[in-house]
Amino acid sequence: MDEVWLVEFYAPWCGYCKKLEPVWYEVGAELKSSGSLINVGKMDATAFSSVASEFGVRGYPTIKLLKGDLAYNYKGPRTKEDIIEFANRVAGPVVRALPSRQMFEGVLNRHSVLFVYIGGDSPLKEKYIEVASEMIVYTYFFSALEDALPTNVTLQELPSVAVFKDRTYFLYDAYQDGELSSWVNRERFRGYLHIDGFTLYELGETGKLVAIAVVDEKNLTEEIAPKVTFGHMDGNDYINSLIMGEVPVPSIIVLNTSNDQYFLLGEPVKTLDQLVQFIHSVLDGSAQRTVTFLSDTICFGVWLGELSRNASVKPLFCWVSGG
């Protein structure tokens, strides 16, 4: 078995690298104490520039998991828990088998989002493994036979691919959802999130509108849920810089980075029906849009205007509140 290495590429002068240093020490200590076979190390990319260049390092710090001939980039939050979760996920099998209903229900309790291929060998399974090999950096992929499914799961056909999240599941439909890789990228987030700059950047590549607000997502209609990502944002500093304007606190706002527009609900929300009606008006194009934004906004070194032009974005519905 090839050794697995979790490596931080850093520069001695990099402030973000210095901030990561105590976290990186904790990552190594916890993996070692748990008996993990994952080795943890760090490399001065300025002293070993040829090695860093070989691994495609373009900024600092860069975290990669090296497994055999493959190098997986870590793009998540720089916390001990998130880094360890990434390392354990990527170091294991790309697709994990679920041979029993008990194991299936166990992983449902452990993971907030997971994808499952159901059925035997097929071209769809080959495609699923291919997609999983690329997307394992973001989420978990499993496979199961039909008799291992929870009793509340009903399939329309075999083989199938399903995503389990938000206490329910959604089935992949090649005719409606397009490429499997695009569908997985859209559905890899929970329906309701805490939104910050990093999460918003990631959501910009999902193909969904992004809406930011505190709502009970369990009461949303099935028509809205697949089309909108919900979340909340503490304070209005980031959103103000994003839209280059002033958003009152509290507010409800819908961002559509596919066409650089946002929609601001200008009245207090008193009922769920009022909120759902507002979202419907955004989806059907009848809502009054606000001026274009994002044209000159930089997020994590990427021009969001450029990101918008290269991705069809699911609306982000956001509740902006004070602290």
pLDDT at residue 222, as a whole number: 57
Domain 191-321 coded CATH 3.40.50.300: no
Length of the chain: 323
pLDDT at residue 258, as a whole number: 64
pLDDT at residue 108, as a whole number: 95
pLDDT at residue 321, as a whole number: 56
3-state secondary structure of 26: helix
pLDDT at residue 267, as a whole number: 74
Do the Cβ atoms of 201 and 302 come closer than 8 Å?
A: yes
Q: Answer yes or no: pTM beyond 0.75.
A: no
pLDDT at residue 241, as a whole number: 74
pLDDT at residue 33, as a whole number: 95
Whether 191-321 and 96-186 are alike in CATH topology: the answer is yes
CA distance readout (Å), 88 to 36, 82, 136: 8, 10, 11
Do the Cβ atoms of 232 and 194 come closer than 8 Å?
A: yes
Do the Cβ atoms of 5 and 28 come closer than 8 Å?
A: no
Pairwise CA distance, residues 15 & 68, whole Å? 31
Token pair of 52 as six digits:
């860093």
CATH of domain 4-90: 3.40.30.10
The tens place of each residue's pLDDT in the chain, 323 residues long, gives: 479 999 999 999 999 999 999 999 999 999 999 999 999 999 999 999 999 999 999 999 999 999 988 999 998 888 999 999 999 999 999 999 999 999 999 999 999 999 999 999 999 999 999 999 999 999 999 999 999 999 999 999 999 999 999 889 999 999 999 999 999 998 998 876 666 666 666 666 665 666 655 334 445 555 666 677 777 777 777 777 777 777 777 778 887 756 667 787 777 777 778 878 888 888 887 877 654 544 333 333 223 333 333 333 455 555 555 54
pLDDT at residue 124, as a whole number: 98
The residue extents of the domains of the chain are: 4-90, 96-186, 191-321
Do the Cβ atoms of 247 and 320 come closer than 8 Å?
A: yes
Instruction: Give residue 252's identity as a one-letter amino acid code.
Output: I
Q: Which residue in the block uniquely carries the two structure tokens 């992949």?
A: 172
Q: Which helix (H) or strand (E) holds 32?
A: helix 15-33
Q: What is the DSSP letter of 79?
A: -
Q: How crowded is residue 147: how many other Cβ atoms within 10 Å of its Cβ?
A: 8
Q: State residue 31 phi and psi, 5-degree precision.
A: -60, -40
pLDDT at residue 195, as a whole number: 63
pLDDT at residue 281, as a whole number: 84
CA distance readout (Å), 98 to 41, 116, 143: 32, 9, 6
Do the Cβ atoms of 67 and 91 come closer than 8 Å?
A: yes
Do the Cβ atoms of 135 and 184 come closer than 8 Å?
A: yes
Active-site position among 7, 11, 17, 210: 17
Query: Is residue 17 among the annotated active site residues?
Result: yes
Q: State residue 194 phi and psi, 5-degree precision.
A: -85, 120
Do the Cβ atoms of 297 and 200 come closer than 8 Å?
A: no
Task: Region of 235 please: left (phi>0), alpha (psi -120 to 50) or beta.
Answer: left
Closest CA to 79 of 87, 90, 67: 87
Residue spans of alpha helices (H) in 137-262 = 174-177, 180-187, 197-203, 237-243
Q: State residue 6 phi and psi, 5-degree precision.
A: -105, 115
Active-site position among 14, 113, 225, 311: 14
Pairwise CA distance, residues 112 & 94, whole Å? 18
Closest CA to 126 of 117, 138, 139: 117
Query: Is residue 14 among the annotated active site residues?
Result: yes
pLDDT at residue 190, as a whole number: 82
Q: Which residue in the block uniquely carries the two structure tokens 């996920």?
A: 89
Domain 96-186 coded CATH 3.40.30.10: yes
Residue spans of alpha helices (H) in 56-203 = 80-91, 101-110, 123-135, 174-177, 180-187, 197-203
DSSP string, 45-101: TTTSHHHHHHTT--SSSEEEEEETTEEEE--S---HHHHHHHHHHHHS-SSEE--SH
Given strand 160-165, what is the order of strands in its sheet? Answer: 96-97, 140-144, 113-118, 160-165, 168-171
